[in-house]
Every structure is written in C-alpha cells, then in structure tokens.
Structure 1
Amino acid sequence: MNSYIQKIFILFFLILISTTRTLGKSQENPNVDTIYRSPNLFESDTLIQLSITTDLRSLVRDVGKKNKYYRARLSYYLSDSIVSMIVQIKTRGNFRKDRGICAFPPMRIKFNKVESSYTLFHNQGKLKMVTHCQNKNEKYQQMLIQEYLIYKAYNLFTPESFNVRLAEITYKDSKNQMGPFKKYAFFIEDLEDMANRNGKIPRYEKKIHPDHTLIGKVTKLAIFQYLVGNTDWGVPTLHNIKLIAKTPTSRPIPVPYDFDWASLVNAPYAIPHEKLNIKSIHDRLYRGYKRTAKDLEYIFREFKMKKEALYDIYINNPYLNDKEKERVLNYFDEFYEIIDNPKKVKAEFINNSRTIKYKK
C-alpha cells in the first residue's frame, strides 16, 4: 500500500513540474520564458514617449574632442506606471556636432545593464540617438522624420540594414537653466547587434574597393542611394558606411547610415561635394560602378516589386506632413520613370557610372 501511494505521489509531482514549466513558456516559442522576456526596442514601430533629465545646457555645449558623459534620468510610461533608469549621455558626431550647424547635436546614450533590465532598453549597451538639430525651426522636425524613414525604407530592401525606433522626447534641464521642450528623435541599432541579427560580424578595414564586396549587395545599395538622392557615402573610406561579413576573410556587405545629406531630408546645410559636378543635392547622381543592363534589371525588378510598399511607408506615416509626403512621392516617381526607360537607364546607370582607374 505504501509503495502504491509513493508511486501516485511521484506521478503527481512530475505532472506538477511539467505544468509549471509549460506555463512559464511562450505558446509561440516554447524556448522563451515569458516571465522574464521584455520587448526588444526595435521590435515595434510604435512611437516611444519618454523624458530625459540632465544638465542639459552643459551637455549640448560640450562638443569638443574631449567631451564627457553626463548623468541623466531616462523615463517612459508603461501602462499605468513610470519606468525610470539612470543613463549616461554625451554629444557625438562630426558635422552635426558643430554648433554653427546644430544647436542641439546628436547624442550617444550608455545604458547600465542592471538599471535597464526588464525594460524596453534591456541588453542595450550604447545607442546612437539622432536628434532635431535646431530647437526653434519646426522644419528640422520634418527633416528628422525624413531621415528616420530612409532607414525604414532601406529595411524594406534588405535585413542587412540598421533598425531604428522613433521617439518623442521631453528634455528637462536638471539645473533649470533651460525650460523643458519636446522633440522627435530616433535610436539606431548597435552595429554588433545588427551584424549578429544577420549571422555576421563587423569588419573595420578601410580601402576596400566596392567591387571587392558582395557585388549584388553594393549595387543595390548604390541604386537605393540614387533613389533617395544621397551622394554622401563611400565604401573605401567607410564614409557613412559600415561593413559586415560572414567571416574575417569573406567578402563584406556595406551597410549605409547617416542620410541627412539626402535630397529627401532636404537639409539647408547639405551641399554636394565639388568633385561630383552636381549643383544641388536634389540632382541625382549614380555613384555605383559599371554593371550590365541585365545585372541592373535584376535589381530594378526588386525595386519595382516593392514600389507600393515603399510608397506606403511614407503615405501611412502620421508624423510626416502632407507637403513633405507629396515631395517624396514626386521624387520617387522620377526614379521609377527612369528605371522603366532603357535609354535613361543606359544614360544614368551605365554611361554615367564609375569605372575602376588602374595606375600605370
């Protein structure tokens, strides 16, 4: 009898353990513990509303080479509660760090992994934050949304691209030397995280010729830059380009970032490089290397297939005003007219393409 009761007890105990484990797992993915899982920052396109409190006046003026991190409190609403954490923040960038260009420079936020555990920013180390540049001119708000949407558009064409997340930030000065104000900003995915997501590693070598990267990938990148009207990039110099690759010796994939000189953004400070022989950032210039019409058509086919989805990114965005939407769609219409015309394709993408110059 005792043996029978003992067997019943063991069976009940095993069922109890099994049930407990099942309840702790996600139904969609049984290998994920829902109790401990927090949403990833870049899993959603929903606008994040948060506040940053710091010595704001000192922070935005600290744009020298030896600029430092400032202690700040980052807070956001989650349901009916406030999530708050201590972070470190400092100015970053090159061109936009110049106070003659931007009164409010781009930022970099460093998270404490303990502080940010079980928050929207869990597993984040350092994140780039693109900011509004000027405080008083509302045009810069639309410029920021335009740059954000270029990242989203490139996501449409390849996962080997940086994810971004839009935020509306209330900035507060802890020393009350500036009044609080609210502006848009967006976070950019960390390079290593982007590489890992694609099963790749970052590569940092310079002087890699574009034709020594994966040809189809770099050609698509060059066509995309032509689509948005951006000439401010270069693979060999890693100018607004990062590299990722399967191994340290395999051909890398170039990944673009920093699109503020693109025609779509329409920044007043953006002037084409004099060597490009174009008068305005609105003049498209293909900066890819020569490909055959057949090779180009293969890539154009993807752009044509995704045309509706591309337009929808802009049409459905609630933060871009109607005037800006119309400007973008007209600019895209011009692109599609060109790639649908064999003569214009030859003129723009073949005859006007770059060629390798060999030293004698």
Structure 2
Amino acid sequence: LKAAEMHKHNEIKLVFPCKPGWEYKDYVLREYLCYRLYNLLSPYSYRVKRVDFLLRDSANLKYAQKLSGFIIEDKEELAKRQNAKKTSFDFIDPDTLDPQIYLRVQLFQYLIGNTDWCTTTTHNLEPLLLKSGVIVPVPYDFDFSGMVNAAYATPNSTLPIESVRQRFFLGRYASYEELKPTLDFFREKKAALFEEVAAADYLSRSSRKALRKYMEKFYEVIESPERVEEHLLGKPADLLYAY
C-alpha cells in the first residue's frame, strides 16, 4: 500500500473472486488489467493495486483460503488527488462534460467491449467536478466487458448484440473531425497498451494472447476510416441519448 501511496486511505474497495476456481481468479485479474490500461490513457482514473491475501473464517480460525484480487482507491481520495470534488449527481447531461475526456472514456469502453455504463444515470461512472467547473467522468466496474469475458456477464439488453464479446460504440454522435484527435491519441498509445498486456505476468500466457487478439480487433477498426465510419459514426440519436 505504501508503494502505491494508498496506505493513508480510510476506506479501500477490495475486489476478489466471487467463486472458487481459476476462471474466476482470471476474471478478477483481467478486470484489474482494464483499470491499468485506463491509467495509461487518463490521469482521471482510479488507482489499483494487485494483492494476494488470506481469507480466514472468524468462527474457525484454522480455515484460511488464499485469494488473488485487487484494491481500488476510495472515490474521496480520487477527488482529492485530482484537486476536484466528488459529486452526488444522479443525472448528468453529456453536453456538460469535458468533450475530449468524454470521448476518451467512450472509446476506452469500446476498446474493452464494455456496454455496462451510462452517463446520464452515472452508472459505473464517477463524475468529478474540477476547479474549472468542468465535469470529467471516471469509469469503473469492468467485469461485464468483453475483455473480462466472464461467464456470468450478459450484454446490455437494449443493444443489438448477443454477447459481451461483441463491441458496440455507446458514444454520442460525433463527426469524424471531432473524433479524430481521440482516435489519434489511441493510436499513439497502442504500443504502451500492448506492452501493459505483455507485462501482465499475473495472467496466463493463453489469457494474455486472447486479450491481445481482442485488442487487435479494436485497432483494426480505428485504423481504418471506412470501419470508423461503419462502427463509430452516425449512430441514431434516440439510441445514444441515454449515454
């Protein structure tokens, strides 16, 4: 915790497998990697620290189970670190958000194949109010993403997809010119993102290989103007308004 500068926190969220088995450990560590990837893309992101720990039964101290998981910094600490204020908004107009940060969040969610979020209801987004008066959204909770690919995850029922592995862009309508700086940013970060996956030795080799392939499909889209037009632009306004 000291190494991660998280030792002074009063509250820390602990994420660990909900069931025994290697696959549930893999889900948790894949979600941890999603947080790490977004750390590379934005300073407005939750810090995480991977941990191994023993879970003991208070009624039977002889019983102990070793688990792998990660901790997430408290949202108050997140706000303090950004010199911002956490908000209690239950509804946010997307037009009030910092446009470039918002586009970055949208494209990151598309990268990891996550549709389990909503701007207007702040579902799985933490809105921070900066001193400038601008609101920035901080994404979290990625276990329903295609990157994690959990057996229990189901896609957003309002969308025309049948699996969480299918990507669907939930960004509001933007022209190619508006989206281009964000596309360029993700292209510039490509090597760093793939290096983070390659360095994730807490995951099996086969898991890392699968994640690389999944990310490569994302870059096949954003590196092709035709596929950007097909998958990221011109979505119906009535479908996107809720996001």
Identity across matched positions, percent: 31
Question: Contact conserved, 1:204 with 1:242, CA < 8 A, in 2?
Answer: no
- How has the CA–CA distance of structure 1 residues 178 and 224 changed in structure 2, closer, same or farther, with 3 Å as cutoff? farther
Residues 141, 323 of structure 1: alpha-carbon distance in 2 compared, 3 angstrom cutoff? same
* Aligned match of 2:77: 193
Match of 1:293 among 176, 183, 198: 176
Distance 1:343 1:219 in 2: 19
Match of 1:182 in 2: 66
Question: Which blocks of at least 5 consecutive residues in structure 2 are unaligned?
Answer: none
Alpha-carbon deviation of 1:297? 1.4
**C-alpha distance in 2 between matches for 1:41 and 1:175:** 33
How far apart are 1:296 and its partner, in Å?
Answer: 1.3
The DSSP-based 3-state class of the residue aligned with 2:63 is coil
Q: Does 1:164 align with 2:48?
A: yes
Question: What is the aligned-residue RMSD (CA, Å)?
Answer: 1.8
Structure 1 position 199, deviation (Å): 1.6
Distance 1:217 1:354 in 2: 20
Closer, same or farther: CA 178–260 of 1 in aligned 2, 3 Å: farther
2:123 maps to amino acid: H
Counterpart pick for 2:2 among 40, 51, 55: 40
User: Would you say 1:306 and 2:189 are equivalent positions?
Assistant: yes
Residue 204 of structure 1, aligned match among 88, 109, 121: 88
Letter of the 2:160 partner, please give it: N
Partner secondary structure for residue 179 of structure 1: strand
1:173 counterpart (35, 57, 69): 57
* Structure (1 or 2) with the larger CA radius of gyration: 1
Structure with the larger RCO, 1 or 2 (CA within 8 Å, 6+ apart): 2
Moved over 2 A (4+): 39-43, 351-357
Superposition pairs for residues 108-119 of structure 1, below 5 Å? none
In structure 1, what is the equivalent of residue 209 of structure 2? 326
Check whether the contact 1:132–1:140 (CA below 8 A) recurs between aligned residues. Answer: yes
Post-superposition offset of 1:175: 2.2
> Partner residue of 2:124?
240
Q: What is the distance in 1 between the residues matched to 2:51 and 2:97?
A: 34
Spell out the pairing of 1:134-153 with structure 2 (5 A cutoff): 134-135=19-20, 137-153=21-37
**Does the Cα contact within 8 Å between 1:227 and 1:335 map onto a contact in 2?**
yes
Q: What amino acid does structure 2 have at the position aligned with 1:217?
A: I
Q: Name the counterpart of 1:125.
A: 10
8 Å contact from structure 1 (residues 288, 354) kept in 2: no
Between 1:264-273 and 1:218-227, the stretch displaced more is 264-273
| Contact 1:41/1:165, CA 8 A, preserved across alignment | no
Residue by residue over 1:87-108, the C-alpha shift from the partner in whole angstroms, topping out at 9 and shown as x without a partner, is xxxxxxxxxxxxxxxxxxxxxx
Relative distance call for 1:341 and 1:208 in structure 2 (3 A) is same
